[in-house]
Amino acid sequence: GAVVSQHPSRVICKSGTSVKIECRSLDFQATTMFWYRQFPKQSLMLMATSNEGSKATYEQGVEKDKFLINHASLTLSTLTVTSAHPEDSSFYICSAGETSANYGYTFGSGTRLTVV
Amino acid sequence: GENVEQHPSTLSVQEGDSAVIKCTYSDSASNYFPWYKQELGKRPQLIIDIRSNVGEKKDQRIAVTLNKTAKHFSLHITETQPEDSAVYFCAASRGSSNTGKLIFGQGTTLQVKP
């Protein structure tokens, strides 16, 4: 089946620094990838839709200059949290759908970000 | 945009009993409704899904029903086991995996007591 690899699984960074999270589709092409954020004991909140070769579409309330998304190829999307603050500490998870298939979303393993 | 409401937020049942989790959605154009099980610190795992052209789907102890008119869908787990304990999320999408973003419900923490 479709596999999505997400790295790193855990990262601790200092306030003010930037962190890049990678999401790769290993055995399929993903025109579209989705980035979610999940705070403890809460649901997955969609942050943005990442489109290969074009600008990402951000959900209301998500700062596009703070959460930079790049989807340069059909197998890789990256999320960069810029100028991180402790309130950005969260579980970030990506999801991708296979280009040739309708429906069916595969999730990455998630990244636990802690900003100190 | 789409809004998905999920109830209850917590559910405790005795082993062997049934558990039912309900969701409603707001976007009548939504046509794909998956259910996920998530264990602490892990990715959501798809347990069952249903498309809008079907009213019910069953997979062993798990079933999902969909009422498009009322815009609600439910997860039914029969003969619950302690290993069913986890957080369950419903979700809704209006398109294919290429264009349809998944919007999640708030989640239900299911506890199955042995």
Residue A90: both structure tokens together: 């969260």
Which residues of A are less than 8 Å from B53 in CB distance?
none
Please tell me the distance in Å from A4's CA to the nearest CA on chain B: 11
User: Given this model, what pLDDT does residue B59 score?
Assistant: 95
Beta-carbon separation of A107 and B43 below 8 A: yes
Separation CA A28–CA A92 (nearest Å) = 22
Q: Over the stretch B35-91, which tens digit does the pLDDT of each residue have?
A: 999 998 899 999 999 988 889 999 999 999 999 999 999 999 999 999 999 999 999
Q: Cα dist. B26→A46, B51, B105 in Å? A: 17, 16, 12
User: Given this model, what pLDDT does residue A46 score?
Assistant: 95
Among B96, B103, B105, select the one facing A103 at the smallest CB separation.
B96
Which residues of A are less than 8 Å from B32 in CB distance?
103
| Residue B100: pLDDT band with limits 50, 70, 90 | confident
Residue A45, burial from CB neighbour count under 10 angstroms (0-12, 13-18, 19+): middle
Q: Over the stretch A85-104, which tens digit does the pLDDT of each residue have?
A: 999 999 999 998 765 555 56
Q: Over the stretch B16-42, which tens digit does the pLDDT of each residue have?
A: 999 999 999 999 999 999 999 999 889
Q: Residue B103 region, left (φ>0) first, then alpha (ψ -120 to 50), else beta? A: beta
Q: What are phi and psi of A86, to 5 degrees?
A: -55, -30
Q: Is the pLDDT of residue B96 over 60?
A: no
Burial B7-42 (b: 16+ CB within 10 A, else e): eeeebebeeeeebbbbbbbeeeebbbbbbbbbeeee
Q: Over the stretch A30-57, which tens digit does the pLDDT of each residue have?
A: 888 999 999 999 999 999 998 888 889 9
User: Mean per-residue pLDDT for A6-13?
Assistant: 97
Partners of residue A60 on adjacent β-strands: none
Residue B108: both structure tokens together: 């239900």
| Residue B114: pLDDT band with limits 50, 70, 90 | very high
Chain A window 3-42: which residues touch B at a Cβ cutoff of 8 Å? 31-32, 34, 36, 42
Q: Is the pLDDT of residue B105 over 90?
A: yes
Q: What percent of chain A has pLDDT over 90?
A: 71
